[in-house]
Structure 1
Amino acid sequence: MSRALLHPLLQLKAPVVSRLASALALSVVQQRAFNTSAPIIEPVPKQQPQPQPQKHKPKRKAAIPPAVVHQQPPKQRHEKNAANPTDSQVRPLAFKKSHPARPPRPVENSVEKLLPLLVAQPGHYITVHIHGFPYLVQEGDQVRLPFRIPGVLPGDVLRLDRASVIGSRDYTMKGAPHIDPELFQCRATVLGTESEPLRIKLKTKRRQRKVKRVKSKHRYTILRISELRVQKSGKATGHHIESVAKETTAPQRPAA
Structure 2
Amino acid sequence: MSRTLLRSLLELRAPLPRVTTSPLALVVRSISTTTPTPSAPSASSSSAPVSKTALYPPEQPVHKPLSDSVRSLLPVLAAQPAHYITIHVHGVPYLVTRGDHVRLPFRMPGVGHPFVDERLFECKATVLGVEAEPMREKTKTKRRNRKVKTVKSKHKYTILSISHLKVNTPEEVGA
What TM-score do you get using the length of structure 1 for normalisation?
Answer: 0.37
Which structure exhibits the higher relative contact order, with contacts defined as CA atoms closer than 8 Å and separated by 6 or more residues? 2
* C-alpha displacement of 1:133: 4.1
**Gaps spanning 5+ residues in structure 2: where?**
1-62
Distance in structure 2 (CA, Å) of the matches to 1:120 and 1:208: 67
**SS of the counterpart of 2:93?**
strand
What is the aligned partner in structure 1 of residue 139 from structure 2?
202
Q: Do the aligned partners of 1:148 and 1:193 also contact (CA within 8 Å) in 2?
A: no
What is the aligned partner in structure 2 of residue 230 from structure 1?
167
Distance in structure 1 (CA, Å) of the matches to 2:163 and 2:65: 33
Aligned-residue RMSD, C-alpha: 3.0
* C-alpha displacement of 1:113: 1.5
Q: Do the aligned partners of 1:142 and 1:223 also contact (CA within 8 Å) in 2?
A: yes
Q: Do the aligned partners of 1:186 and 1:227 also contact (CA within 8 Å) in 2?
A: yes
What is the aligned partner in structure 2 of residue 148 from structure 1?
106
- Structure with a larger share of its residues in strand: 2
What is the aligned partner in structure 1 of residue 77 from structure 2?
118
Residues 183 and 106 (structure 1), Cα distance of their counterparts in 2 relative to 1, 3 Å cut:
closer
* C-alpha displacement of 1:105: 7.4
**SS of the counterpart of 1:208?**
coil
Residue correspondences, number? 109
CA displacement 1:165-211 (0-9 Å, x = unmatched): xxxxxxxxxxxxx1111111101011112111111111111222211
* C-alpha displacement of 1:148: 2.5
User: Do residues 109 (structure 1) and 46 (structure 2) align?
Assistant: no
Code of the aligned partner of 2:106: R
**SS of the counterpart of 1:112?**
helix
**SS of the counterpart of 1:122?**
coil
CA displacement 1:96-118 (0-9 Å, x = unmatched): xxxxxxxx977443212211111
What is the aligned partner in structure 2 of residue 136 from structure 1?
95
Give the alignment partner of residue 155 of structure 2, picking from 218, 223, 226.
218
- What is the identity percentage for the equivalent residue pairs of Structure 1 and Structure 2? 58
* C-alpha displacement of 1:121: 1.7
Distance in structure 2 (CA, Å) of the matches to 1:141 and 1:110: 30
What is the aligned partner in structure 1 of residue 129 from structure 2?
192
Distance in structure 2 (CA, Å) of the matches to 1:110 and 1:126: 20
Distance in structure 1 (CA, Å) of the matches to 2:129 and 2:155: 14
Residues 112 and 119 (structure 1), Cα distance of their counterparts in 2 relative to 1, 3 Å cut:
same
